[in-house]
Amino acid sequence: MTTTVTAPTSAPPVTRRRSPRRGAVVAVAIVAILVAVLVPTYIYPYAAFTGRAALVLATVAMSVQLMSGTAGLSSLGQAAFLGVGGYTAVWLSRAGLDNGPLQLAAAAAAGAGAACLCAPLVLRARGVAFLMVTFAVGELAHTAASTWVPVTGGDNGLYGSYPTLWPTVPLPTSDLASYLYLLCCFLVLAGLVALVLRTRFALALRAAADHEPRLAALGHRVTGTLLAGYAMAGALAGAGGAMLFSSRISIAPSDMDFDTSALALLAAAIGGRSLVGAVIAAVGIVLVRDQLGVDTGGHAQALLGAAFLAVAYRRPVVAWVRARRSAWAVARGRR
Amino acid sequence: MAVTYAVTAVDGVAFGLLLFVVAAGLTLIFGVMGVLNLAHGSLYLAGAYIAYLLSRGNLLGLLAALAVGAVVGAGGGAGLSAVVRPLTGHLEQAVATLGIAYLAADGFSALFGATPQPADPPRLLAGSIQLGGVGYPVYRLVFIALAAGIAVGLHLAVTRTRAGVLLRATVADPVMAAATGIPTGRVQLAWMAGGGMLAVAGGVLGAPLLGPAPGVDTTVLVLCLIVVVIGGAGSIPGTLLGALLVGQVQTVGVLAAPTLAPFALVAVLIAVLAVRARTGTGVRLT
C-alpha cells in the first residue's frame, strides 16, 4: 500500500500525540489564573479596572483567533458581534431579566445569530477579501449602532442595572466582585473554546485553510463547517458584549468601534495558532493601551502602531536572523 | 421637493467622485501588490491637513498644497511598497499597514490636536451659483469637473499608455511579465506611488467637502473599502460605479429614508455580492 505524502502549505501536521509544550502551557495557565485572582484581590486593587477591559478584549481576541488560527480567516469586524451581545444584554436588563449567566447565554446566542446573518455575505470571501468584507460589516454595524436611536440609544448608548449571579443572589457591585465574575465567565468560555479546538471539527477548519477543494472532494461540507466556526466566533464575541455590559452596566456604539476589532485582530495575530498566545497578547495590549499609554503622555496609539509593525515583521526578522546564524556557522566550519 | 432631491443628487455625485479618487488609489494598490492598504485613510487625512496648512483660501495655496500632496503621496505609496515587500502573508501585510495607520493617527493628533480643522476652498471658488433656484457651492461643481477629469485620465492611463500596458501585464502574471523583460519591481513601485498620490490628492481637493479631523481616516477607509468591494477589487470602471452608487446612498438615501440609511449600504453590499459570485479574489485592471 502506498502512502501519499503531501507538503502542508502553511500548517504543521496536526497529530494527536502529546506535544512536549503541553505541560508548559498548563503550568502557564495555572500561574496566570493565580495571578489574575490574587493580584487584584490582595496586592493592587486598581488592577481590577484594567483587568475587566483585558478580559473583554481577550474574549473578542479568542473569537477572532478561533477562525484565524484554524481556518485562516482573519476577521477585522468582530466588534460588531460584541455590540450585538452587549445590546442584547442591556435590553434583557431593561426588561427586568437581571440574571448574569442568562444574559451571557442570550448574548452568545444573539452573537451567533448575527454571525449566521452575516455569513452569506462574509463567507464567500477568503484571504484579503475576507478582511475587507468583515471590516465593512463591522464598520457598518458601528454606524448603524450610532444612528439607530430607538434600539441603541444613539451615541449615548443604553444603561441597565447590575446583573445578579442567580435570581436571588445579587452580585456585589464592587469592582473586584465584578472583575472576578468576568474572570469566571472568561474561564468558562476559554475552556469551551479549548475543548472545541480539540475536536475533529477544528481539524476540518484547519483542513479548509490548507486545501479547501480537497476537503470538499473528500465529502466534507466546507461551507457548513465554516458557517459553524463563524457562528461560534460570533457567539464568543457576543458573550464578550454581555461581559462588557456587566462590568459597566452600559453599552455604547464606541464600544464596538474599529479599535476593538483591530486590537482583537492584533492579539489573534500575535497568538498565531495559539489560543493562549492570543489571550496573553490581549492582556498585554490592554496594559500597553491603558497603563503605558497614560505614562507616555497619551501616545498609546503610537505604541500600538509600533506593536502592529513588530508583529508583522516578526517572521521575516526571525527568518533573517536564522539565515545569518546558519551562514555564520557555515563560515566558522570552513575556517 | 424635486429641486431638493436634484441638488442632493449633485452633492452625491461630488461625494461619489471624491470617494472614487481615493478608492481608485486603494484599488490600484490592491491590484498591483495584492495588499489591503489599511493606511489609505491616513493618506487622505494627510492630504486634508496639507490643504488646511497651505491653501488658506487662495488658488495658489491650493496648487502648492496639490504639489506638496503629490510628493507626500508618491513618497507614501513608495514607502508602503517598501514596508510591505518583505512580508508574505496577507494578515501580516494588513497588520503592518494598520500599524502605519495607528502611528499616523498618533502623529496627526499630536500635530493638529483633537478638534476638526477648517479647510475652506479658495476665495475665487468659494461663492455659490443659482442651481434651479437654490444656491449651490461653486467649489463642488469645480471639484466634480476635476475629479471626472482624474477618472478619465486614470482610465486612459491604464488602458492606452505604455505604463498602463506594463501595469496590466504585471498584475495579470508577474512572473511571465518579468520573464519578458518588464522591470516588474519598478512598475509596481511606480503604480504604488500613483495610488498614494491619488489618495493624498483626494484629501487636498476633498478637504472642503470632508475636512481634516481625527477619525476621518477610518471613515474614508470604510467607505473606500465598500466602494472597492462593490466595484470588484482591481477594476477602475467598477470602482467608479461603486463610488457613484455609495455617494448617492450617502446623500439622497439619507434624505429619502433617514431611518433606513444606515442599513442602505449593507443592503447595497448584499445585493451586489448576491449578484456577483465570489468577490475580491480575482484581480483585474481594465
Query: How many whole angstroms separate alpha carbon B115 and alpha carbon B118?
Result: 10
Residues of chain B with Cβ-Cβ distance to A76 below 8 Å are 94
Residue ranges of A 177-196 with Cβ closer than 8 A to chain B? none
Mutate to test the interface with A, among B95, B221, B259 (most CBs of A within 10 A): B95
pLDDT tens digits, one per residue of B141-151: 888 999 999 99
Q: Based on the structure, what is the number of domains in chain A?
A: 1
Residue A187: predicted pLDDT:
92
| CATH architecture of the domain with residue range B2-275 | Orthogonal Bundle (1.10)
**Residue A37 in contact with partner chain B when CB distance is under 8 A:** no
Quick: pLDDT tens for B6-65.
888 888 899 999 999 999 999 988 888 888 889 999 999 999 999 998 887 788 888 999
Task: Flag whether residue A322 sits within 8 Å of chain B, measured between CB atoms.
Answer: no
- What confidence category does residue B233 fall into, taking pLDDT thresholds of 50, 70 and 90? low
CA separation for the pair A236, A189 (Å, rounded): 7
> A140 at the B interface (CB within 8 A)?
yes
Neighbours of A123 (CB within 10 A): 19
Is the ipTM higher than 0.90? The answer is no
Closest chain B CA to residue A293: B106
Identify the three-state secondary structure at position A153.
coil
In the structure, how many helices (H) and strands (E) does chain B have?
12, 2
The predicted pLDDT at position A3 comes to 46
Distance CA B135, CA B132 (A): 8
**Interchain CB contact of B102 with A (< 8 Å):** yes
What are the tens digits of pLDDT across the range B257-271?
777 776 788 778 777
In DSSP terms, which residues pair with B137 in a beta bridge?
B128
Nearest by CB to residue A128, choosing from B102, B270, B280, is B280
DSSP string, B57-126: TSHHHHHHHHHHHHHHHHHHHHHHHHHHTT--SHHHHHHHHHHHHHHHHHHHHHHH-SS----PPPGGG-
Question: Residue B131 pairs with which residues in a beta bridge?
Answer: B134
Residues B156 and B149: their CA atoms lie apart, in Å, by: 11
Say if CB A162 and CB A170 are below 8 A apart. Answer: yes
**Residue A211's CATH number:** 1.10.3470
Q: How many CA atoms lie within 13 A of B4 on its CB side?
A: 6
Report the pLDDT averaged over residues A102-125: 90
In chain B, residues 158-217 whose CB comes closer than 8 Å to chain A: none
B7 touches chain A (CB under 8 A): no
> ∠ at Cα A228 (A195, A136), nearest 5°?
115
The answer, yes or no, to whether residue B72 has pLDDT greater than 90, is yes
Do the chains contact at B100 and A136, CB–CB below 8 Å?
A: no
Residue A61 lies in a domain: yes
- Is A258 in Cβ contact with B281 (below 8 Å)? no
Query: How many pairs of residues across A and B have Cβ atoms under 8 Å apart?
Result: 135
In this structure, are residues B83 and B194 in contact, taking their beta carbons and an 8 Å threshold? no
Rg (CA), chain A: 21
**What does the mean pLDDT of chain A come to?**
84
Partner-chain residue, chosen from A68, A137, A304, that has the shortest CB–CB distance to B102: A304
Closest Cα to residue A264, out of A23, A66, A51, A42?
A: A66
**Within an 8 Å CB–CB cutoff, is residue A80 touching chain B?**
no
Tell me if chain B has a CB within 8 Å of the CB of A144.
yes
**A258 is a domain residue:** yes
Nearest residue in chain B measured CA to CA from A267: B95
Q: Identify which of A84, A61, A75 has the alpha carbon closest to the alpha carbon of residue A241.
A: A84
Segment 207-236 of chain A within 8 Å of chain B by CB: none
The pLDDT tens digits for B172-226 are 888 898 999 889 889 889 999 999 999 999 999 988 888 888 888 888 998 998 8
| pLDDT of res. B276 | 66
- pLDDT digits over A125-146, tens only? 888 888 888 888 888 888 888 8
- Which has the minimum average pLDDT: A88-92, A181-185, A187-191, B235-239? B235-239
pLDDT at A290 over 60: yes
Query: Is A311 part of the contact surface with chain B (CB cutoff 8 Å)?
Result: yes
Domain boundaries, position A264 = 48-321
pLDDT by residue (tens digit) across B270-286?
777 767 654 444 444 44
CA angle A83, B265, B223 (to 5 degrees): 85
Report how far apart the first and last C-alpha atoms of chain B are (Å, whole number): 39
- From the CA of A77, how many Å to the nearest CA of chain B? 11
| List of chain B residues whose C-beta atoms are within 8 Å of the C-beta of residue A129 | 229, 233, 278-281
Model confidence, pTM: 0.86
Q: Which of A151, A308, A318 to mutate to test the interface with B (most CBs of B within 10 A)?
A: A308
**A129 contacts chain B (CB < 8 A):** yes
CA–CA separation, B217 vs B211, rounded Å?
Answer: 11
The H or E element that residue A164 is part of is strand A164-166
Half-sphere exposure of A39 (CA within 13 A, CB side): 13
Chain A residues within an 8 Å CB radius of B42: none
The answer on pLDDT for A276 being more than 60 is yes
